[in-house]
Amino acid sequence: MVKFADEAVITVSSGKGGDGCIAFRREKYVPKGGPAGGDGGRGGDVVFMIKRNLRTLSYLRYKQNFKAQNGEPGMGRNMHGRDGADIIIAVPPGTVISDADSGEILMDFGREKPQTLQDNKGTSDSDRFWHDGDTWVFLRGGKGGLGNTHFKTSVNQAPRFASPGQPGMERRLKIELQLIADIGLVGFPNAGKSSLLDAYTNANAKVGSYPFTTKIPNLGVMTIHDRDIILADIPGIIEGAHNGAGLGLRFLKHIARTAVLAYVVDLSVSDWEEQFSILRNELQAYNEALLQKPHLVVVSKIDLPEVQERLPTLRTLLANEEIYEVSAFTREGLDTLGEAFFALVSQHEQENVSPSDFELDLDVDFFDGGPDADQNSE
């Protein structure tokens, strides 16, 4: 199971440039060899790289300091010091990098590339967007110092000084993940979302016959047609979530960070007719832009007799919705739903819709849960 983390604060440092060298040629048959101090190497850069196979920032919670290598000092015989190695920090698509102290947004990997980074020779609109393997150099390493060879003049044939390497730079950054999954499974507690996730992936999510089994989003990878689709089991929404009921603001924030939504409806409960409308109303009350996300409706537990009895009524109530009927227990309908997931995600990606285009309010603090953080949360 993928451990979920969507925010981290890290410190990054570029490398110091190597010092220039003070040296002279002293070969036996070169009586006037003169200065021969080489230049110092350049310090390493701090580079961020987009990696599509990453879906959380959990590894940044364990390693919080990233430092590029310093350049090596110059050497005699005009030998240049080795450049320092860059430090490459991999982040998922949709990551936003901001200054941890001022809050200034430095780069948003969920939007188009800045004009200065775009390939002006490219003819496709896809050149404007971030892709797997694209890099952004955030901090440049310090330049290496000059050896004493550069300071030789007509009046100073043997300079005994060299310039030091320039220092590197250091910044504290807040890394925030805007998009956690391709498809978010949304529903009431016990709607069958975790069972559905287990049926498609190897997530091994905790499943129980009591409310609020899931306390944080569980992620799993569904492979279909030689591509990976990330599914997120979002903790259950209850009525009043947009006002904070059941820590609903946290769960709604998770939903905002998925590209496509699958509303999971459980017809085995007595209030099943209200579930879909409540879910939609809670999303709309939090931010109307959530209703613009591509979505479909999944009816779970169709192996139960009461669900079969209520299916015709549901189809009438949601006549304008795309409905899929599945059972994680018997695996009925899973193949058809999987194809629908694939088609919906593929269409979404072709339209180049960024999660940031919804302009969602994502100011809720994930990690300051307080003493009740594990209560009323699925």
Q: Taking 50 as the threshold, does the pLDDT of residue 194 lie above it?
A: yes
- Of residues 147 and 224, the one with the higher pLDDT is 147
Decide if 13 contacts 63 (C-beta within 8 A). Answer: no
Closest by CA to 297, choosing from 275, 270, 319, 324, is 324
Looking at residue 189, its pLDDT comes to 80
- The secondary structure element, H or E, covering residue 292 is none
pLDDT tens digits along 199-250: 888 655 544 444 444 445 677 778 888 877 888 887 655 444 334 444 434 5
| Cα separation, 362 vs 70, whole angstroms | 37
In this predicted structure, the answer to whether residue 252 has a pLDDT above a threshold of 70 is: no
What pLDDT is attached to residue 222?
A: 85
Task: Please state the rounded mean pLDDT for residues 95-103.
Answer: 93
pTM flag (> 0.75): no
Best CATH choice for the domain 1-178 from the list 2.70.210.12, 3.40.50.10800, 3.30.70.20, 3.40.640.10? 2.70.210.12
Which segment of 272-286, 290-304, 349-363 scores lowest on mean pLDDT? Answer: 349-363
- pLDDT band of residue 56 (cuts 50, 70, 90) is confident
What pLDDT does residue 216 have?
59
Three-state secondary structure call for residue 291: helix
Which segment of 71-85, 247-261, 270-284, 296-310 scores lowest on mean pLDDT? 247-261
Alpha carbons 187 and 280: distance in angstroms, whole number? 10
Residue 254, pLDDT above cutoff 60:
yes
% the chain with pLDDT above 90:
40
- pLDDT band for position 5 (cuts 50, 70, 90): low
Q: Which fold has domain 181-358?
A: Rossmann fold (3.40.50)
Per-residue pLDDT of 159-180, as tens digits, reads 999 999 999 999 999 998 876 6
Boundaries of every domain in the chain: 1-178, 181-358
Q: Which residues of 157-178 are buried (b: 16+ CB within 10 A; e: fewer)?
A: eebeebbbbbebbebebbbbbb
- The per-residue pLDDT of the chain, averaged, comes to 79
pLDDT (tens digit per residue) in 335-359: 999 999 999 988 887 765 444 333 3
pLDDT band at 131 (very low <50, low <70, confident <90, very high): confident
What's the pLDDT score for residue 243?
43
Query: At 150, is the secondary structure helix, strand, or coil?
Result: helix
Higher pLDDT, 61 or 214: 61
